[in-house]
Amino acid sequence: MDIAILCDILNFNVNRIKCFNNYCKAQSDATILEIRQLEEIKQNLSFTSVQEVYVENKQPKTKKSGKNKGTWLNSQKLRWSVQIAFFIVVLVIGWQFYTFVKYCEAGGKGFYMPRPPGVESFLPISALMGTKYFFGTGRISTIHPAGFVIFGTLLLTAFFFRRGFCSWICPIGTLSEWEWHFGDWFLKKLPKRVAYLMRNVPTRVAAGLSLIFTPIIALLIIEVLTMESFKFPIFMYLTPAYILAMVLPFVVPRKIWSDRVDDTIARAWKYAILAFFIQVIIIKMPIAQLEFMYTRVPFIRVADVKMLKFFTNMSGMALSVILSFLIISIVNKNFWCRFFCPYGALLGIIAYASPMRIVRDTGKCIDCGKCTRACAMHILVEKKKHVLTHECVACYDCVNACPVNGALDMKLIGDRKKIHYGLYALMLVGLYVAVTNTARATGHWYTKINDAEYILRISELNQPKYLHKAGQFETE
């Protein structure tokens, strides 16, 4: 009996062990099967993923229609041609006027060259006075009529064609552009960090100077300060504030004070200077005073000769300033135009009323950023649908750099009509030539000061009556 029970127990345990082994084998088979299934799924997924990528890469991408790069003429080449033509005209005018002054200094002897009226384009303050005189009396001044005509033409070009004068005609803009093109070639040969500093340090210096002088000019405009105020010793005690203003753009972290902040602050200076001229001449100067200055102030009648003498007998300080601008303009694009030219600022303000603007088609744009990199005025063209900023000089460089046909164009207001660069150049130069020649034909181009008066006044140019100090003129 005990043996039978023991055998049953042993058989039960054996069966139990077999069941356990069978269970483990089943679990192992299930696990192996599951692993195989997972590996198969993984392989399928991997194959599918690779296949999808392959199919995606094989699918043709939507291509934008590119521009025809095989043309021998583009907007940049045409603009350079116009720039060179006007630059040659300016050189000829300078030579003619220099020859005329030498003739007058010789007492009317030697080689004679008539005085070129175009020299008055280098008398911007006189042109602003002539503008005030015209709107106050309805007459064009006979002392420097060509200066007013040229200045008025620039205002018209800004109204119709934005700041095209700055990039297509202005000799200073032309010289500045030649400089920074050379600077781009030069800086590419330097380490990136060195090139970055050489490009941006002048902007930071200009920003520091703007922090000092823009508030001072603003106080002069609202007449809190006068020229006599600078004689007070308080300005000497403000020296630490001046130093702080110059240092701020260099020491504040770039995350807080970016390069674009420097650029914006530096540009404020030219608008402050423009506002000062407008307040002093356009707003405050009475017409009677202008009449008196045109007839009784000798300096006004020889302002063009004085301007020539400034360049031919330049002081060390003036030469240093001009050389500084020339050198900085090599590494900092359009340094004078962006930060200091008050008349460029005026044209930019008028350009807001222009029916033309650069338009970016967001549907065609591929966001390559070439337009922004091509802009010498540091405008973020790639971020704008319409480039309405007063800093745009309508140079067409961004349009020329755009690789997609129709993605970026100069258009009329409402985005209705594309303005080809050839048509733009024809209209801009055509308006300038038409207005100046109309003035010539109607007798509003040549000064009434004759050669005999120039000979007399140039012979006594060193007398005190031809001097001025802080806006105070001698009279006769």
By mean pLDDT, which of 7-21, 51-65, 102-116 is the weakest? 51-65
End-to-end Cα separation, the chain, in angstroms: 156
Is residue 34 in some structural domain? no
Is residue 51 in some structural domain? no
Is residue 392 in some structural domain? yes
- Mean pLDDT throughout 148-169? 96
- Mean pLDDT throughout 88-93? 97
Is residue 47 in some structural domain? no
By mean pLDDT, which of 299-313, 320-334, 403-417 is the weakest? 403-417
pLDDT of residue 11: 47
Is residue 198 in some structural domain? yes
CB 221 within 8 A of CB 276: yes
Give the count of domains, the chain.
1
Q: With 60 as the cut, is the pLDDT of residue 12 above it?
A: no
Is residue 264 in some structural domain? yes
Is residue 434 in some structural domain? yes
> Residue 339: which domain range?
75-459
Q: pTM of the entire structure?
A: 0.82
pLDDT of residue 22: 52
Q: With 80 as the cut, is the pLDDT of residue 69 above it?
A: no
Total Cβ atoms within 10 A of residue 329: 23
Query: How confident is the model over 181-232, as pLDDT tens digits?
Result: 999 999 999 999 999 999 999 999 999 999 999 999 999 999 888 888 888 8
The CA distance from 274 to 277, in Å, is: 5
Is residue 21 in some structural domain? no
Nearest Cα to 202, choosing from 347, 317, 329? 329
Query: How confident is the model over 335-393, as pLDDT tens digits?
Result: 999 999 999 999 999 999 999 999 999 999 999 999 999 999 999 999 999 999 999 99
The CA distance from 269 to 253, in Å, is: 23
What does pLDDT average to over the chain? 86
